[in-house]
Amino acid sequence: MINRLLIANRGEIARRIMATCRTLGIETVAVHSDADAQGAFVHDADMAVSLGGNTPAESYLRIDAILEAAALTGADAIHPGYGFLSENQGFARAITDAGLIFVGPTPDAIAAMGSKLEAKARMEAAGVPLLPSADLSGMSAAEAIAACADIGYPILIKASAGGGGRGMRVVANEGELADAISGAQREAESAFGDGTVYAERYVSPSRHVEVQIFGDQHGDVVHFHERECSIQRRHQKIIEEAPSPSLDNATREALHTAAVKAGAAIGYQNAGTVEFLLSGTGNDAEFFFLEVNTRLQVEHPVTEAILGLDLVALQLSVAAGGRVPAQSDIGPVDGHAIEARLYAEDPTNDYQPSTGGVHALQVPGSGPGGTIRLDTAIVDAGEVSQFYDPMIAKVIAHGPTRRAAAGQLAAALAGSTIDGITTNRDLLVATLRHQEFLGPSDDGVGNAGDSDFLIRHDAAVLGRPSMSAATVARHAAAAALGIQANNRSADVNTPAVSTGFRNVPTAPQRVVFDLNDQPIEVAYRFTRGRVAELTVNGEELSDPIVFDNSLGVVDFAAGGIRQRFRVRDHGELVSATSSTGSVCFTKPPRFVEPGEQVEAGSTVSSMPGTIVEVKASVGDSVEAGDALLVMEAMKMELTITASAPGVVTALPVAAGDAVEAGSVLAIVSDPEGD
């Protein structure tokens, strides 16, 4: 019996686990870094303990501090969530040695599957199909080249100790190998504390299909059907669904059987996922073992949706000695579920992560009784930190068919209010509505997007807002009217003056917004409290009628079309959201303060981070796109490149330096300039 559970994680997954604990009457303990002191998950918990520090190494990766927190609060069990220490055998062993319950598999099972190299050896012995691979540990450059030549290019360099796309590089030829290995090793060491990497045959295009398994302390292992997670960017999933649309019944049954066999071979307990690479679809499909994730997966909600169960509740039950259900009692599958990961990043700018404040996060249909499930780290508003993964929420739709689920999810994302930060929302919506992703029908096996989807379809194009200029204009007009209403309601000096009053009644009120560095001017004029004129960038919105303009709601008609908007004014930012989408405008300051000037040719950091490698030297001639340095931010490595050809005249940073947003990283000068 678990009475008080410590959750050794943060953000969205910590809140998800706490939600189940509340329904079971289990008290919860949060642990947090200094950066997360005001996080929603901290406020959700019954008790909280500070681990100190900001980075994962200073906080969520400190086994000693987490065990001390458990002892201090009287917790009798620890749930690791996913990421951080969730697949660390030493952590699991330390918990059990302390007499506490670890909500996860045994330390031996984690050890067996935690090293992907050892896992592949175990699966080979069990007869599960594998891709050709090679352990690169301790190899010289020449030895690594020879080993990879035996595999055949293209190859994939992968971290043995982790996943989630970190420590992973695609290598097309021998010339790219050395940089790929060193970069993958650095990223793996930073993310997982283990820089061991290996090489594996890269199959492209392919599909990523995984089977949810569960084992108990009584020797039973069952499966909870499969998920497909083929839509990925940088080998990290962004859209997941259940069941897989790529399998026929025979392949599906074979996949389930192989996954249960894999779990039974290592005496698996608790929640785990056996991941496979699928080549082809239907009768032409072949599958190969990739890895076993010895934890709860990010995408577990889609399995819960189609089976009507709570996997976290089952985790807690099994950890306390309970049994898994009989295989015959699991199912049948109900409809289709799709999950989208909302990341704080810009797909139109090489997925550059975003940091800063989220002023508002609202997803229609996600409240009590809604049809959309929202698992999020942020409640209404919050902060995206540079120290952690950029995922801020998961949005899940469940419908009778795949197309219905995709349509619901796309509509919910498009109509969401996400103010203050750049996200991948538009990329997700465009993907969910793309004909290739939707496939031929809901009736059979067909192409529903593979691992190369975002290679064939440029994210910089697909991820652009799809609103027409006319729709953007209507949102800008709504934003301006909303600001006018806010200003009027805040006026305590002249409350009797009618709305829209001007000393010169024929002169319109003007508001200038900025959207993607382009000015948008809205002009409006009221007569006797009614809007008499409304233009956007000089173009008239004919016959304007305002039905409601209060409490953040603007309901108006123009050109015969009536729409209702939610308007949020955050000072420098104002957003307007309707059923057709959301636009966040910047309000330029009326009086610009003199700011710091940077030298022409300067490359500045768009976010805080740490310099991990300087690849250029002062005096080097570079072309546009040449690498200048490598920076780590939000657990990802970002290569900073020259924006124009020239000569490197300054490099004011060195490896190991911490930089703030706006810091000058390099200066590339035009050698022919004055």
Place of tokens 């300067």: 602
Please report the pLDDT score of residue 323 as a whole number: 98
As its CATH architecture, domain 4-103 has 3-Layer(aba) Sandwich (3.40)
Give the mean model confidence (pLDDT) for residues 411-439: 92
Please report the pLDDT score of residue 279 as a whole number: 86
As its CATH architecture, domain 132-201 has 2-Layer Sandwich (3.30)
Pick from 470, 396, 408: which is nearest to 433 by CA?
408
* Cβ pair 4, 27 in contact under 8 A: yes
pLDDT, one tens digit per residue, over 608-655 is: 888 989 999 998 999 988 889 988 877 677 888 888 899 999 999 999
**Measured distance CA(278)–CA(228) in Å, rounded:** 10
pLDDT, one tens digit per residue, over 98-139 is: 999 999 999 999 998 877 777 888 888 888 888 888 888 888
Dihedral sign, Cα of residue 357, residue 360, residue 364, residue 367:
positive
Mean pLDDT for the chain? 89
CATH class given for the domain over 602-669: mainly beta
pLDDT, one tens digit per residue, over 335-360 is: 999 999 999 999 988 888 888 889 88
Q: What is the pTM of this model?
A: 0.81
Residue 71 backbone zone (phi > 0: left; psi -120 to 50: alpha; other: beta): alpha
Place of tokens 């809007």: 531
Please report the pLDDT score of residue 442 as a whole number: 67
Quick count: other Cβ atoms within 10 Å of Cβ 456? Answer: 11
* Cβ pair 255, 276 in contact under 8 A: yes
**Measured distance CA(263)–CA(269) in Å, rounded:** 8
Bigger pLDDT: 498 vs 482: 482
CATH number of this structure's domain 469-586: 3.30.700
Give the mean model confidence (pLDDT) for residues 431-451: 81
Number of residues in the chain: 674
As its CATH architecture, domain 205-333 has 2-Layer Sandwich (3.30)
Quick count: other Cβ atoms within 10 Å of Cβ 307? Answer: 19
Planar angle of CA 323, 214, 378, nearest 5 degrees: 110
pLDDT band at 580 (very low <50, low <70, confident <90, very high): confident
Bigger pLDDT: 656 vs 313: 313
Contact partners, residue 76, CB within 8 Å, separation at least 6? 2, 3, 4, 5, 100, 101
Place of tokens 């019954």: 46
Bigger pLDDT: 33 vs 190: 33
Pick from 393, 384, 336, 403: which is nearest to 366 by CA?
393
pLDDT, one tens digit per residue, over 266-287 is: 899 999 999 999 987 777 778 9
CB-neighbour burial class of residue 494 (10 A; exposed 0-12, middle 13-18, buried 19+): exposed
Q: Which of 25-29, 106-110, 569-573 has the highest mean pLDDT?
A: 25-29
pLDDT, one tens digit per residue, over 194-221 is: 788 889 888 888 899 999 999 999 999 9
Q: Where are the CATH 3.30.1490.20 domain residues in the chain? A: 132-201
Q: Where are the CATH 2.40.50.100 domain residues in the chain? A: 602-669
Q: Where are the CATH 3.40.50.20 domain residues in the chain? A: 4-103
Helix 89-97 crosses helix 63-73 at what angle (to 10 degrees)?
30
Helix spans in 77-115 (H): 89-97, 107-114
Distance of CA 106 to the CA centre of its chain: 29
The amino acid present at 192, given as its one-letter code, is: F
**Measured distance CA(510)–CA(506) in Å, rounded:** 13
**Measured distance CA(611)–CA(386) in Å, rounded:** 14
Pick from 16, 8, 51: which is nearest to 377 by CA?
16
Give the mean model confidence (pLDDT) for residues 491-499: 62
Sheet holding 627-633, edge to edge: 636-641, 627-633, 609-614, 658-659
Give the mean model confidence (pLDDT) for residues 300-305: 98
Dihedral sign, Cα of residue 668, residue 670, residue 671, residue 674:
negative
Please report the pLDDT score of residue 244 as a whole number: 94
The amino acid present at 379, given as its one-letter code, is: V
**Measured distance CA(581)–CA(464) in Å, rounded:** 13
- Domain 335-466 is found in CATH 1.10.10.10: no
* Cβ pair 317, 332 in contact under 8 A: no
**Measured distance CA(384)–CA(355) in Å, rounded:** 5
Please give the C-alpha separations between residue 449 and each of 239, 241, 401, in angstroms, as whole numbers.
10, 12, 17
- The answer on pLDDT for 522 being more than 90 is yes
Q: Where are the CATH 3.30.470.20 domain residues in the chain? A: 205-333, 335-466
Helix 107-114 crosses helix 116-126 at what angle (to 10 degrees)?
90
